[in-house]
Amino acid sequence: MMSSMSTKNINTHLIEIKDYFKVAISVDCVIFGFNNDELKVLLIESDLKEFKGKWSLLGDIVRSEEELDEAAYRVLKERTGLDNVYMEQVQTFGTINRHPAGRVITVAYYSLVNIEHVELKKSNNELHWHSIKDLHEMAFDHKQILDTCHERLKQQVMVQPVGFNLLPKKFSLRELQNLYEAILDVELDRRNFRKKFLSMDLLMDLNEEEEDVPHRPAKLYKFNFDKYDQRKKRYLGIGF
Amino acid sequence: MMSSMSTKNINTHLIEIKDYFKVAISVDCVIFGFNNDELKVLLIESDLKEFKGKWSLLGDIVRSEEELDEAAYRVLKERTGLDNVYMEQVQTFGTINRHPAGRVITVAYYSLVNIEHVELKKSNNELHWHSIKDLHEMAFDHKQILDTCHERLKQQVMVQPVGFNLLPKKFSLRELQNLYEAILDVELDRRNFRKKFLSMDLLMDLNEEEEDVPHRPAKLYKFNFDKYDQRKKRYLGIGF
C-alpha cells in the first residue's frame, strides 16, 4: 500500500497522505426476514432531504474507535434488539457520488433473522418490514446494495444451510419450500424439492405435527446442524 | 445512514459529520497464480519501516476521483500488465490500528491469472511469485487478508469453474487435479476426481496430447464455458 509513492520525497508523501484521509466509512445492514411466504427486509424512511420519503437500509457511520463488524452489530442491536444472529459482510460500495455529504464508503452486511423474534420498539415505529418484491426506488444506492445482498443470499441457500435462520426451529416441508421459492423467486416442483431435501438426510423428523393451521396439519422437521457440521468435515463435493 | 443523529440539531450534525471524514481507503489485491503444482501469490517487499523486509500484497490508496474496482484494476495493470482478468471483491478490512498512518480501511480483491501471461517488468524486480505454503508473517494484516481470499477461493472452486483461470486453455486431467489439490491443500483420489469431472460433462476432449513432457503424454481438455452458462440458466441445484 502507498508503495507507488516510493519514488517521491517524504514531504510530498506527508501532504499526499493527509489528502487521503478525507473519506468517511459507514455500515449498511440488509436485515432479511420471512413471513406470509414472502422474503422481507427491514427498512426505515430516509430523513435526508435529498431522499425524502424513500426507503433506506439501516446503517450508521463507523465510529473512530469502532471495528466494522462491531458497528454492524450495534446497528442491528439498536434497531431490532437482537444480537447473536446470522450476519455476514457482503460487499463494499464506494461510488464517488453515492452520498451527498462527501465520499462515504459503505460496507454492506446481510443478516438473517426470524421476524417473530424481532420486537420493533415504540421509538422504532418508522421501521417497517417490506416485501422485497415491491421495492423499486430506494435512497442512496440502497437498491443496488439490497440486490447484491439478495443475490448473495440466493447463492448461499443453494450450498449452505443458512436459510434455516429465517424459519422457526420447527418447520414443515411446505414452509421450507415456500422459503426457497421466496428467496429464489421461482416456483419449485413439490415432489422434486421434497425428494432432494429428504435425500440429503439432514432433516430430523420430530414426530410432531403443525397445530392450529387452516389445512391438513403437516409433519414438523428440524435441521440437523450437528450432522451437517460432521459431514462437512469429511466430504469434498465438487459440482457445478 | 447517519439516522441515529436525527434528534440532534443541525450544527452538531455538521461538526460531527466533519469529524467522520478522516478515514483513508485503499485496495489490496491478492493475485493468485499456479505453476509447478503450487498455488502462488504475487507479493512485494514492504517499503514501510514498520514492516521492513516483510512481504506485502499489491495495493494502493483509492484516489478521490476513482471507483473502488477501478483502483483495483489499476493496481493489477500497473503491476502485471494484465487487464481483462478474473477479479472479485472479497472482503473489507478495517481494524482500528491496522495501518501506522491512521485509519485506513482496505477493500480486498482476489484475482486469478495465468502466471505465463504475466510479464514482470524490469522496474518490478522487487515483485515475486510466492508459494502460499511458505508464507507465515506478512506486513500489516496482509496474512489475514490472504487467508480470507484463499478461503473464498477454496469455496468458489467447489461450486463454480473459476479455477480454470489459473490454468492454460488446454490442460490435462492431471494438471486439473494438481490445481485442485494445491488450492484445497488436500490429496484427492485420482479415480474419483476424474470420474467426478468427466461426469459433469463440461470438459471438451480436444483429441490432442501433451508435448515435450517427461512422462507419458496425457490427453488435453478444454472447459466448455458455453455449455456451463446454458446449463446454469436451467438447473437449480440445491445441495449441502
- Chain A CB within 8 Å of residue B96 CB: yes
Which distant-in-sequence residues (6+ apart) come within 8 Å of B15 by Cβ?
A: none
Helices (H), A41-172: 68-80, 142-159
Higher-confidence residue of B239 and A178: namely A178
Q: Which of B193-202's residues contact partners 24+ apart within 8 Å by CB, and which partners?
A: B196/A238, B196/A239, B197/A238, B197/B173, B200/A239, B200/A240, B201/B227, B202/A240, B202/B161, B202/B227, B202/B228, B202/B231
- Say which range, B2-6, B154-158, B164-168, B233-237, has the weakest mean pLDDT: B2-6
A96: nearest Cα among A104, A108, A88, A84: A104
Residue B86's SS3 state is strand
Residue A213 has what pLDDT? 87
Cβ pair B159:A23 closer than 8 A: no
Alpha-carbon gap, residue B145 to B143, rounded angstroms: 5
- Say which range, B2-11, B33-42, B52-61, has the weakest mean pLDDT: B2-11
With 0-12 CB in 10 A as exposed, 13-18 as middle and 19+ as buried, what is A179? Answer: buried
- Chain A CB within 8 Å of residue B11 CB: no
Give the minimum alpha-carbon distance from B104 to chain A in angstroms, rounded to a whole number. 8
CB–CB of B223/B179 below 8 Å? Answer: no
Higher-confidence residue of B48 and B98: namely B98
CB–CB of A112/A32 below 8 Å? Answer: yes
* Range from B113-117, B143-147, B183-187 that averages highest in pLDDT: B143-147
Q: Using CA of residue B31, residue B34, residue B40, residue B42, what is the dihedral sign?
A: negative
Question: Cell 506527508 sits at which residue?
Answer: A14
With 0-12 CB in 10 A as exposed, 13-18 as middle and 19+ as buried, what is B146? Answer: buried
Give the minimum alpha-carbon distance from B34 to chain A in angstroms, rounded to a whole number. 19
Main-chain phi, psi angles of B24, to 5 degrees: -110, 155
Which distant-in-sequence residues (6+ apart) come within 8 Å of B155 by Cβ?
A: none
- Say which range, A46-55, A206-215, B21-30, B202-211, has the weakest mean pLDDT: A46-55
pLDDT at residue A49 is higher than 70: yes
How high is the mean pLDDT of chain B? 89
Average pLDDT of the residues in A189-207: 93
Residue A159 has what pLDDT? 87
**Nearest-by-CA chain A residue for B70:** A95
Cβ pair B200:A95 closer than 8 A: no
A168: nearest Cα among A141, A215, A206: A206
Residue A7 has what pLDDT? 47
Alpha-carbon gap, residue A196 to B88, rounded angstroms: 31
Residue A44 has what pLDDT? 93
pLDDT at residue B19 is higher than 50: yes
Average pLDDT of the residues in B228-233: 84
Reported as a single tens digit per residue, the pLDDT across B156-193 is 998 899 999 999 999 999 999 999 999 999 999 999 99
Cβ pair A160:B240 closer than 8 A: yes
- Chain A CB within 8 Å of residue B194 CB: no
Residue A12 has what pLDDT? 62
Cβ pair B105:A105 closer than 8 A: yes
**Nearest-by-CA chain A residue for B79:** A4
Residues of B in contact with A103 (CB under 8 A): 21, 64
- Say which range, B34-43, B112-121, B155-164, B199-208, has the weakest mean pLDDT: B112-121
Cell triple for A199: 435425500
Angstrom CA distances, B193 to B29, B89, B172, B181, stand at 31, 29, 13, 10
- Report which DSSP code applies to A135: -
Cβ pair A3:B157 closer than 8 A: no
Give the minimum alpha-carbon distance from B117 to chain A in angstroms, rounded to a whole number. 23
pLDDT at residue A87 is higher than 60: yes
Residues of B in contact with A93 (CB under 8 A): 68
Cβ pair A65:B24 closer than 8 A: no
Residues of A in contact with B61 (CB under 8 A): 1-2, 20
Nearest CB neighbour to B237, from listed A105, A158, A238: A158
- Chain B CB within 8 Å of residue A3 CB: yes
With 0-12 CB in 10 A as exposed, 13-18 as middle and 19+ as buried, what is B213? Answer: exposed
Cell triple for B199: 461426469
Alpha-carbon gap, residue A72 to B39, rounded angstroms: 34
Alpha-carbon gap, residue A98 to B67, rounded angstroms: 11
- Say which range, A20-34, A38-52, A88-102, has the weakest mean pLDDT: A38-52
Alpha-carbon gap, residue B75 to B80, rounded angstroms: 8
ipTM: 0.88
* Percentage of chain B lying above the pLDDT 70 cut: 90
- Chain B CB within 8 Å of residue A21 CB: yes
B171: nearest Cα among B32, B35, B31, B30: B35
CB–CB of B28/B147 below 8 Å? Answer: no
pLDDT band (50, 70, 90) for residue B8:
low
pLDDT at residue A4 is higher than 70: no
Reported as a single tens digit per residue, the pLDDT across A132-173 is 998 999 999 999 999 999 999 999 998 899 999 999 999 999
Cell triple for B213: 513432457
- Report which DSSP code applies to B63: P
Cβ pair A101:B160 closer than 8 A: no
Return the exposure string of A93-108: e unless at least 16 CB atoms fall within 10 Å of the residue's CB, then b. bbbeebbebebbbbbb
- Chain A CB within 8 Å of residue B80 CB: no
pLDDT band (50, 70, 90) for residue B226:
very high
Cell triple for B16: 460531527
> What count of Cα atoms within 13 Å lies in the side-chain half-sphere of residue B62?
30
Alpha-carbon gap, residue B21 to A24, rounded angstroms: 4
Residue A153's SS3 state is helix
Nearest CB neighbour to A236, from listed B25, B186, B239: B186
Residue A3 has what pLDDT? 46
- Chain B CB within 8 Å of residue A235 CB: no
Nearest CB neighbour to A67, from listed B24, B95, B238: B95
Give the minimum alpha-carbon distance from B212 to chain A in angstroms, rounded to a whole number. 31
Reported as a single tens digit per residue, the pLDDT across A120-134 is 766 666 889 999 998
Give the minimum alpha-carbon distance from A168 to chain B in angstroms, rounded to a whole number. 20
pLDDT at residue A2 is higher than 50: no
